[in-house]
Amino acid sequence: MKQNNTVVLESKAAVKLTVGLDLGDRFSYYCVLGDGGEKHSEGKVATQAEALEEWLRELGPACVAMEAGTHSPWISRLVERCGSEVIVADTRRVPAIWQNRRKSDRVDAEMLARLARVDRQLLQPIHHRGEQAQQDLSAIRARDALVRARTMLINTARGLVKGMGRRVPSCSAECFSRRLAEALPLGIQKILRPCTRAIEELNHNIRAYDRQLSAVARKRYRETRFLRQVQGVGPLTSLAYVLTLEDPRRFARSRTVGAYLGLTPRRDQSGDSEPQLPISKAGNEYLRRLLVGSAQHLLGPFGKPCELREWGLRLAERGGKNGKKRAVVAVARKLAVLLHRLWVTRAKYEPWRRSSPPAMAIAA
């Protein structure tokens, strides 16, 4: 019952409340609906743990729908601790919200509540990982930020040197500073010295992250050793895979993991028309990038003979102009499926399961 914008909630236990919560950095807007769809209240609450917990305790048990975003992981855990059900919506897949011509925080909160009340599947709900997994994954993402910063500095230094009529020989990031000193006159070295020092510091910090992540995988996520049986899959990729998926039982079939990570083609079928489209690129971008890197290693000059490599090379040969790119993506998709299967079964990886290795591989 609503009187002068003030809500009187009678017999909370008898009323099934549905709440839409539009999260913001400073304040989050909410809309509370009753069992019959009537609006009980709306307003805003500070996006702080203490304020949100107090508001949730006063609200009582409810079904709370919110958008996926920066704050949704910790707020969803807070909602569950307060005894309410939570739905985290992938609103980029809900045009009724992000394409709304009257879009605002209040309107979004009400739309979330009404969609959750009618059918929660309309919100395309997602699953947030646990707090410990999120913390460990943060270390992987922090390392990736350092790697990208190092790449930017190296590319900048190479570009500046090229503009002076010089060229730094191809080398790894770890020995870039030494190669730069060997190839350039002292005057240019002095100009680029702050860059080279920053690159060396980043190398040191990246190696520290590598040691930390290897220890985490060895002590806390021992199942990663089953994934590392596949060549090209190291501690970083296996740990990122386990932390991103978190629970292998979320997927009834291993084949669905490829689609979950955006490694399957998009589809736009209508009548007799079904054009060939690129991959969807849905899901976790960083893990997809790691799997593509593992596939490139597997198909590259240092990849060891195995059934998956031979399949990928055959696919690249008959793929035309972009055959190699398609083969890399296809192998990355098979890797995603294979790693899930190894995780579930904890079996020994057999590089030549369906065929016999060639004579050269046996000799080697």
Residue 269 has pLDDT above 50, yes or no: yes
What backbone phi and psi angles, to 5 degrees, belong to 27? -130, 150
Q: Is 305 exposed, middle or buried (0-12, 13-18, 19+ CB in 10 A)?
A: middle
Residue 153 has pLDDT above 50, yes or no: yes
Residue 180 has pLDDT above 90, yes or no: no
Q: What is the per-residue pLDDT for 357?
A: 65
Q: What is the per-residue pLDDT for 356?
A: 61
What average pLDDT does the segment 154-169 reach? 88
Q: What is the per-residue pLDDT for 30?
A: 96
Scanning the structure block, which residue is given the tokens 């195995």?
Answer: 306
What average pLDDT does the segment 335-362 reach? 81
Residue 187 has pLDDT above 90, yes or no: no
CA distances from 122 to 85, 90, 252 (A): 17, 10, 21
Q: What is the pLDDT of residues 114-139, one digit of tens each?
A: 999 999 899 989 888 889 999 999 99
Q: What is the per-residue pLDDT for 97?
A: 84
Residue 273 has pLDDT above 80, yes or no: no
Q: What is the per-residue pLDDT for 358?
A: 58
Whole-angstrom distance between the N-terminal and C-terminal Cα of the chain? Answer: 80
Residue 341 has pLDDT above 50, yes or no: yes
**214 in helix, strand or coil?**
helix
Residue 224 has pLDDT above 90, yes or no: yes
Q: What is the per-residue pLDDT for 11?
A: 41
What average pLDDT does the segment 205-227 reach? 95
Q: What is the per-residue pLDDT for 323?
A: 86
What average pLDDT does the segment 253-266 reach? 91
Residue 23 has pLDDT above 90, yes or no: yes
Q: What is the per-residue pLDDT for 169?
A: 87
Residue 363 has pLDDT above 50, yes or no: no
Answer whether 21's CB lies under 8 Å from 30's CB: yes
Residue 191 has pLDDT above 50, yes or no: yes
Average pLDDT taken over every residue of the chain: 88
pLDDT category of residue 362 using cuts at 50, 70 and 90? very low
Q: What is the per-residue pLDDT for 57?
A: 93
DSSP 61: S
Residues 6+ apart with CB under 8 A from 236: 140, 143, 210, 213, 290
Residue 264 has pLDDT above 70, yes or no: yes
Answer whether 337's CB lies under 8 Å from 254's CB: yes
What average pLDDT does the segment 58-71 reach? 93
What average pLDDT does the segment 307-319 reach? 90
Who has greater pLDDT, 46 or 94?
46
pLDDT category of residue 296 using cuts at 50, 70 and 90? very high
